[in-house]
Amino acid sequence: MELLDGRLVKKEILNKLKEEVAHLDRSPGLVVVQVGEDPASNVYVGQKEKMAKELGYQYSHVKLVSDVTQEKIEEVIDGLNADETVDGIIVQMPLPKQLDTKRIQNLIRVDKDVDGLSDMNAGKLIHNEDALMPCTPKGIMDILEYYQIDVEGKNVVIVGRSDLVGKPLAAMMLNKNATVTVCHSKTVNLAHYTKQADILVAAVGKKNIITPDMVKDGAVIIDVGINRIDGKLYGDVDFEGVKDKVSYITPVPGGVGQMTVAELAKNVLKAYHNIEK
């Protein structure tokens, strides 16, 4: 069993980006819009700020009160869309219930949508066109590529169908000629499908939902789950139980989560180049 080390891959990606950014005419600009004081969101925003400053990006954090109106947040996004120094815009999720999340995601200019969550970028991904792609699934593809794990012709089983991970990852895998099965909470006999997976991706958010009897020998396991229980992090896969059965596995922490920030950094630079053309 070999660990798929997200920290190592992230470090290499960021080092390359830092070198490239140093030679640009201006620093790429990233703005994160945050609503309210969600503790998890504060952590994620902090990670983005750290990454941006490390690379020499121009970074801004727009913080709005939790009872902000739809009109106000739309006004903020319109201003950022028009600002030529801003290459990437992120609206930190989740948003309070009074706000229309989908409308807000689609208000962000397509070429500044560095989370890759707009309908336009999702459509481009489905049609295998150049697009800004969601960071977590793109990180999964890049970690597999780094370790020279070819997905073409492989049985890929994805457990989880979120707009953030499961659905875009299925499209990315199909675009690389994998045979893809997507399972979810309504799937009957989940183990029937997971046992056929050459590459098994668990993205549910439920501790140890994937047990050793659900995994075939020699499979590649990508664990996207981050479950915080009593101050400790667990994945969706029973790591100790499966580690001697599999060929490769991502640890939690230190696996896919590391890649998400690295892919955001890549998206900001991609957006910069697209806008500068």
Question: Per residue in 159-174, pLDDT tens?
Answer: 999 999 999 999 999 9
Q: Which of 223, 205, 208 is nearest to 140 (CA)?
A: 223
For the annotated catalytic residues, the residue numbers are 48, 92, 115
Work out the mean pLDDT of the chain and round it to a whole number: 96
Asked if 14 and 57 touch (Cβ cutoff 8 Å), the reply is no
pLDDT tens digits along 60-81? 999 999 999 999 999 999 999 9
**What's the CA gap between 38 and 50, in Å, rounded?**
18
Three-point CA angle 134, 246, 8, nearest 5°: 50
**What's the CA gap between 25 and 20, in Å, rounded?**
11
What band does 276 get if pLDDT is binned at 50, 70 and 90?
confident
Using a 10 angstrom Cβ sphere, with 0-12 exposed, 13-18 middle and 19 or more buried, the burial of residue 236 is buried
Mean pLDDT throughout 45-49?
95
Asked if 149 and 220 touch (Cβ cutoff 8 Å), the reply is yes
Q: Tell whether the torsion through CA atoms of 224, 57, 123 and 68 is positive or negative.
A: positive
Fold that domain 135-258 belongs to in CATH: Rossmann fold (3.40.50)
pLDDT tens digits along 212-221? 999 999 999 9
**What's the CA gap between 41 and 90, in Å, rounded?**
12
What's domain 26-109's architecture?
3-Layer(aba) Sandwich (3.40)
Task: Determine what percent of the chain is predicted with pLDDT higher than 70.
Answer: 100
- Tell me which amino acid residue 224 is: V
Q: Residue 231 has what pLDDT?
A: 86
26-109 and 135-258, same CATH topology: yes
Give me the residue spans of the domains in the chain: 26-109, 135-258
Q: Residue 275 has what pLDDT?
A: 85
> Is pLDDT of 265 > 90?
yes
